[in-house]
Amino acid sequence: MSLIMYQYPKCGTCRKAMKYLTDHGVSFTAKHIVEEPPSKEELAKLIKKSGLPIQKFFNTSGKKYRELGLSQKLKEMSDEKKLELLASDGMLIKRPIVTDNEKVTVGFKEDDFAKTWVK
């Protein structure tokens, strides 16, 4: 299983997720979410495969999210616009996102990682 983890090196949650996978012998390719953000098309696939609503892919605790006043604006926005917004700036995307092109996890919860990625 070849995993890709979209992460931000300064993010504590991302570091915990990487350490968890490494400690459990799970190999992955780390992609810098700001330098190599997923494209609009990739995000659409990730969202569909995750089964989560698009809102769950926004980094709601991020500075950029607050600066743009997105908590109110997202309610009025189409999913197409939301995808464009996410693809435009990796700092708006909740992280880490881990995928094997079949399954997707967003954020880091040990239980979810244990069930999804540790065999």
User: Which residues of the chain fall below pLDDT 70?
Assistant: 1
> Which residue(s) pair with 105 in the sheet?
98
pLDDT of residue 3: 96
pLDDT of residue 66: 95
CATH of the domain at 84: 3.40.30.10
Range of the domain at 50: 3-116
pLDDT of residue 1: 58
H/E element, 99: strand 97-99
In 3D, which of 97, 91, 101 has the Cα closest to residue 113?
97
Token pair of 50, please? 């995750």
CA 111 – CA 119 distance, rounded (Å): 13
pLDDT of residue 21: 97
For the entire predicted model, the pTM comes to 0.94
Q: Regarding beta strands 3-7 and 28-32, do their DSSP bridges make them parallel or antiparallel, or are they unpaired?
A: parallel
Token pair of 87, please? 């693809």
DSSP 26: -
Structural domain count, the chain: 1
